[in-house]
Structure 1
Amino acid sequence: MISYASPSGLVQVMNENNVSYVFLFGFPNLHNFNSLLFVLLFIIYCITMCGNVIIIILVSISKNLHSPMYFFITQVSLLDILMTSNILPNLLYIVLHDGGTMSLDACLSQFFVFANSETSECLILTVMSYDRYVAICNPLRYGSIINKRFCVMSIIGSWVLSFLMVLMNEIDMCKLDFCGPYVIDHFFCDFPPILELSCSDTSLIQIQASLFGIIIIICPFTIIIVSYVYIITTILNIQSLSGRQKAFSTCSSHLTVVSIFYGSLFFVYMVPSKGQFLTTSKTLSLLYTVVSPLLNPFIYSLRNKDFKQALEKLKKNLNLINLYQ
């Protein structure tokens, strides 16, 4: 049986051959700031869920938002809800109690959901960059290329591809023997910390994960970069200033989201995860697990006139309903 000491972070473990529970340290050096961080994260959690739910509702009920671009935005919102629901509730508990335990099965399940949402978002952001490329560089054929069938098939393909690749990785992880050190110095179950718990040879699974990373991160990011090279070139060739501003405004929100999402991912997995850089790595991990889902609804809605109009119309309808009641 495994027993954990008080919130000081010290862990006492009886000799066992297999890990059945893990201890997540979270942020052990916060001292008296735990309550403040808990309140901040709780507010972020509420705003993130409300913001993304509102985005989905507005796109669903507003006819002027029934277009491919907004359909893709709802998919990003769904993934943000999935990510937030998977990470933040447990993080709130960890912050409040200076760490927390969870079963190894729950830890592997958390990673599975996390990896699925991240890989799906990588692919969907790539599809959105292609959508913006066609809209700006080939506007006359936009309706025939980015049609309903393309939208549905691209989303299904993104979800299925990410699910299958993560499932293959997860099955191999479940075959590993886990024998300690029983402790994950992180606030959620990420891939490298889980492998550190294993006493099996993890070289093959690390190679597999690297190959999958090329397919679902490097290749999509390359496609996004190439798309925006063509987009920027096309925008610069537009003669009128107003035309350039209008064209850029249609892709600025997506470009902002891509910058935050991929920027944080690259920094996290390029920064060493040992010693003095561990706190930095965990802090950067907050960007794509907590901050990015929070900012996405604001980035897409505050910069978009259609969203503002749809929100105002929804407010008026709600006010009318209240008046009649």
Structure 2
Amino acid sequence: MKDTNISVSEFVLSCLKETDPKDGIGVVFLLIYLVTIFGNVTVILIVVMDQQLQRPMYMCIVILSVIDVTCSTTIIMKILVALLFKNTVIPRNACYVQMLMFFMHYMESLEIFLLTLMAFDRYVAVNYPLRYPSLITNKTILVSIAFMNALTVMLVSMGLSFVADFNFCTTNVLPYCFCDFTAMLRIACFKDDRYIILTSTLAAVFIVFTFVLIIFSYTKIIVAALKTARTEGKRKALSTCFTHLSIVGLFYIPLFFSYVIPARKQITNSSVTSSLIMVATIIPPLLNPLIYSLRNKEIKQTLLILSSPIH
């Protein structure tokens, strides 16, 4: 049977359609959002108010918190609107804008770069402590962030140009809670698989390469800690590294299954695929303030000082 293209001016988001009751799930997402915003905004305020913390590592942490606040606000608000108000229709152009500017895939890509930069920062600090002040400076971080933003915009714009050529011959229902490249890829009609092959290859290079760099950095940190630290220091270093890697895994593994594996070969249950992406974009922002910041000795001391009644 020959496919017949349909005119698509809007998409319908099929958000957690198999979940019941939706009001209860909405309350859970709202609580997650409030805790996420509180934790990340607290970290931002602590670093901004304490000049001693305005150093490369903490600049990265602040930028990570800004990304997490933006991601959580964009995604969870969209999910809440869909669940609580049953507003699941989004114009096609608005869907593209959401993909490009607010969340999918700009913030995801930027966070991937930032996590890699943070791992490299710790690698240099542990393995080359004497050269660290000259190699990693505030200027170095700012230039790196500017470069990452430019590269991210280029990558996302490339994906958006692909989406503009998509044809839809059977449905305009996206099996996600938000606009996503993979969601459109799942329902688009192709005469060949050039888009699937190209995007999966780019995602594999991008995601796998940065993940390998992060693993390499933390492996070197662990080796250095085991060689130089005392028993307590070794235990603390191992605990910190494995905790960081667990958060990295929560972010990377769902992205790998969602973007590297071609859409045609992914799990057929769209709710599972959608849930994987939600894990990558909702859980890490919730845990990042605790893992990267509030366990940090300097940040805890600053928080105690700022919360002191005398202060």
Shared fold (TM-score greater than 0.5)? Answer: yes
Q: Does 1:80 align with 2:40?
A: no
State the shift of 1:29 in Å: 2.1
Name which of 30, 45, 54 aligns with 2:33.
Answer: 45
Q: Does 1:24 align with 2:13?
A: yes
| Structure 1 unaligned spans of 5+ | 1-14
Q: What is the SS of the residue equivalent to 1:237?
A: helix
Task: Give the counterpart letter for 2:88 in structure 1.
Answer: G
Evaluate the alpha carbon distance shift between residue 16 and residue 180 of structure 1 in structure 2; reply closer, same or farther with a 3 A threshold. same
- After superposition, residues 208-227 of structure 1 pair within 5 angstroms as 208-227=198-217
User: Does structure 1 retain, via aligned residues, the 8 Å contact 2:5–2:167?
Assistant: no
CA distance in 1, matches of 2:306, 2:242: 25
Name which of 77, 81, 95 aligns with 1:107.
Answer: 95
Q: Does 1:309 align with 2:297?
A: no
Alignment RMSD, CA only? 2.5
Q: For residues 210-245 of structure 1, what are the alpha-carbon distances to aligned partners after superposition, in whole Å with 9 as ceiling and x for unaligned?
A: 333134211111111221222222122125213424
Q: What is the match of residue 55 of structure 1?
A: 43
Q: Which is greater in Rg?
A: 1
CA distance in 2, matches of 1:228, 1:16: 49
User: Does structure 1 retain, via aligned residues, the 8 Å contact 2:172–2:187?
Assistant: yes
Q: For residues 107-161 of structure 1, what are the alpha-carbon distances to aligned partners after superposition, in whole Å with 9 as ceiling and x for unaligned?
A: 2222223201111111111111111111111111111111222211111111111
Q: What is the match of residue 248 of structure 2?
A: 258
State the shift of 1:203 in Å: 2.8
CA distance in 1, matches of 2:82, 2:159: 27
CA distance in 1, matches of 2:5, 2:202: 33
Q: Does 1:285 align with 2:273?
A: no
Task: Give the counterpart letter for 2:7 in structure 1.
Answer: N
Name which of 293, 299, 302 aligns with 2:291.
Answer: 299
CA distance in 2, matches of 1:223, 1:239: 24
Evaluate the alpha carbon distance shift between residue 36 and residue 89 of structure 1 in structure 2; reply closer, same or farther with a 3 A threshold. same
User: Does structure 2 retain, via aligned residues, the 8 Å contact 1:19–1:179?
Assistant: no
TM-score, L = length of structure 1:
0.84
Task: Give the counterpart letter for 1:291 in structure 2.
Answer: I
| Structure 2 unaligned spans of 5+ | none
State the shift of 1:50 in Å: 2.2
User: Does structure 2 retain, via aligned residues, the 8 Å contact 1:26–1:99?
Assistant: no
State the shift of 1:70 in Å: 1.0
State the shift of 1:103 in Å: 0.9
Task: Give the counterpart letter for 1:285 in structure 2.
Answer: I
CA distance in 2, matches of 1:201, 1:81: 40
Q: What is the SS of the residue equivalent to 1:114?
A: coil
- After superposition, residues 151-170 of structure 1 pair within 5 angstroms as 151-170=141-160
User: Does structure 2 retain, via aligned residues, the 8 Å contact 1:122–1:220?
Assistant: yes
CA distance in 2, matches of 1:291, 1:148: 29
Task: Give the counterpart letter for 1:106 in structure 2.
Answer: A
State the shift of 1:286 in Å: 1.9
Evaluate the alpha carbon distance shift between residue 267 and residue 174 of structure 1 in structure 2; reply closer, same or farther with a 3 A threshold. closer
Evaluate the alpha carbon distance shift between residue 238 and residue 16 of structure 1 in structure 2; reply closer, same or farther with a 3 A threshold. closer
State the shift of 1:206 in Å: 2.6
User: Does structure 1 retain, via aligned residues, the 8 Å contact 2:222–2:237?
Assistant: no
Name which of 152, 155, 174 aligns with 2:164.
Answer: 174
Q: Does 1:183 align with 2:173?
A: yes
CA distance in 1, matches of 2:245, 2:215: 10
Name which of 59, 70, 84 aligns with 1:96.
Answer: 84
After TM superposition, the structure 1 stretch with the greater mean CA deviation from structure 2, 104-113 or 83-92, is: 104-113
Task: Give the counterpart letter for 2:33 in structure 1.
Answer: Y
User: Does structure 2 retain, via aligned residues, the 8 Å contact 1:19–1:180?
Assistant: no
Q: For residues 144-186 of structure 1, what are the alpha-carbon distances to aligned partners after superposition, in whole Å with 9 as ceiling and x for unaligned?
A: 1112222111111111111111112112211333444011122
Q: What is the match of residue 4 of structure 1?
A: none
CA distance in 1, matches of 2:56, 2:287: 21
CA distance in 2, matches of 1:136, 1:130: 10
